[in-house]
Copies of this chain bind each other. A is one copy, B any other.
Amino acid sequence: MLELAILGLLQESPMHGYELRKELAAKLGAIRAAISYGSLYPTLRRLQAAGWITEAAGTPATAEEVPALTSRRGRVVYKITAEGKERFAQLIAQAGPETYDDTGFGVHFAFFARTDQATRLRILEGRRRTIEERREGLRDVLGRAAERLDAYTLELQRHGLDACEREVRWLEELIANERSGRAPAAPRPGVADGPRDNNSPPPPGESRKERP
């Protein structure tokens, strides 16, 4: 998941670790707190070793002139490579079970603007399925096993059930919108309407690799 998120963010612009963490927090704030450095840095190294990202020195070249005490660690800016973009495309398109759990779905959803419509639909439906199953499980417990559980536990289940029902409804809307070819969200007049800026989902065409 982290791998996918990093690749996705670096596609928007090169960044160093600290920045990456902040952007991640902004983009995924709805689903997870903030990525830990204990995950981030090792992952960056892994991605670099795999050739999916490369360093792009902060204050570049002029190398020699900073011998400095204790080796002067500067910020390291990473940028995505062509292979990295391919890797991202591959990760974003394939959906396993982990694509439908809370975190996995959140990350995929956050990059829907870079995902083709068929995949978006597939993922939304898979997520719906997952939540429907969770919902049925909760209903079962609240029905069949209710007298075995104390009032607090039951209240927790009720709250969870409510959240499931809400999310299913949300997903239904998104799926309907998706099918109708309309852009993302619920009808929100006045926003994202003008031909104002970039990164909206690709206007219902297709998505090539690059090569403009």
Contact in complex: B26, A145 (CB < 8 Å): yes
| Closest-CB distance, A163 to chain B (whole angstroms) | 7
- The answer for the CA separation of A160 and B26 in the assembled complex, in Å, is 12
| A190 CA to B73 CA, complexed, in Å | 67
> Closest chain B residue to A30 by CB distance?
B160
Q: List 11 A-B contacts (CB under 8 A).
A: A29-B157, A31-B160, A110-B156, A112-B150, A147-B197, A151-B192, A151-B200, A152-B185, A155-B174, A155-B184, A159-B170
Nearest-neighbor residue (CB-CB) of A167 within chain B: B159
* B26:A152 contact, CB within 8 angstroms: no
Could you list 12 further interchain pairs (A-B, Cβ under 8 angstroms) beyond the known A29-B138, A112-B150, A163-B166?
A26-B149, A29-B157, A31-B160, A33-B101, A110-B153, A111-B152, A150-B200, A151-B185, A151-B200, A152-B185, A155-B185, A158-B185
Given contacts A163-B163, A185-B158, contact A152 B29 (CB under 8 A): no
Closest residue on chain B to residue A183 by CB atoms: B151
Q: CA separation between A153 and B24, bound complex, in Å?
A: 11
Alpha-carbon distance A152/B101, docked complex (angstroms)? 18
Quick one: which of A149, A152, A158 has the most chain B CB within 10 A? A152
Closest chain B residue to A149, Cβ basis: B27
